Structure formats: structure tokens, C-alpha cells
């Protein structure tokens, strides 16, 4: 979990491959990044990860999210545009975890 730079929003990531934005003051879910695919509402960012999201970081301006996944990728996501900006594939290979 991470807060937006202004402290207004809470970003969460989980094993179900979803990223959510919650208004911290009201506790309301602001975005679950949902998309419509063949008439079924699905989590938008789930389409981009093959395994669970293990970490997230929010840019200082609150407009980009960097996420790491168990699929060894690190992705930069545009929050307002709801799209992937860049993906570092196999980014974790060769790194030791302590």
C-alpha cells in the first residue's frame, strides 16, 4: 500500500493482480481500474500482469504508478490514462532477495 503524495488517496495492490485507489478520508473506492471485455466487467490492470503484484510506488505528482510483479516484471502505469507506459521484463532476474 502507498499513499498519494498529497495523502488523499491510498493505492493498494494484491495477489489477485488488482490495483485499487481509495479515498482515504471517505474510505470510498475511487478506482478499481475496470474495463469492459465481452460484456464482463474486469479489473483493468489485471490484463497486464500474469502473476500477483508484489510492490507499488507512486510518483511525486501522483500521476504514475510503478509496480513490481511475481512474473519478474516492473511496469510504469499512467493512472489518469489507465495504461501501461513501459514494462521492464524479467527485471528481477539475477537480483538477490534479502
Confidence at residue 16, expressed as pLDDT on a 0 to 100 scale: 73
Q: What's residue 38's pLDDT? A: 47
Percent of the residues in the chain that have a pLDDT greater than 70, as a whole number: 71
- What pLDDT band is residue 37 in, cutting at 50, 70 and 90? very low
Report d(CA 91, CA 93) in Å as an integer: 6
pTM of the model: 0.69
The domain limits of the chain are 2-88
| CB 66, CB 57: distance < 8 Å | yes
Average pLDDT of span 8-13: 87
CATH topology of domain 2-88: Thrombin, subunit H (2.40.10)
Q: Which has the higher per-residue pLDDT, 31 or 57?
A: 57
Note the residue count of the chain. 98
Q: Within 13 Å, how many C-alpha atoms sit on residue 23's CB side? A: 6
Contact between 71 and 59 under an 8 Å Cβ cutoff? The reply is no
Amino acid at each position: 500500500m502507498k499513499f498519494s503524495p498529497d495523502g488523499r488517496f491510498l493505492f493498494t495492490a494484491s495477489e489477485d493482480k488488482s490495483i485499487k485507489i481509495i479515498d482515504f478520508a471517505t474510505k470510498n473506492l475511487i478506482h478499481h481500474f475496470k474495463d469492459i471485455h465481452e460484456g464482463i466487467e474486469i479489473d483493468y490492470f489485471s490484463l497486464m500482469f500474469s502473476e500477483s503484484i508484489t510492490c507499488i510506488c507512486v510518483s511525486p505528482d501522483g500521476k504514475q504508478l510503478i509496480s513490481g510483479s511475481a512474473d519478474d516484471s516492473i511496469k510504469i502505469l499512467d493512472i489518469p490514462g489507465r495504461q501501461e507506459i513501459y514494462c521492464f521484463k524479467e527485471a528481477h532476474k539475477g537480483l538477490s532477495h534479502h
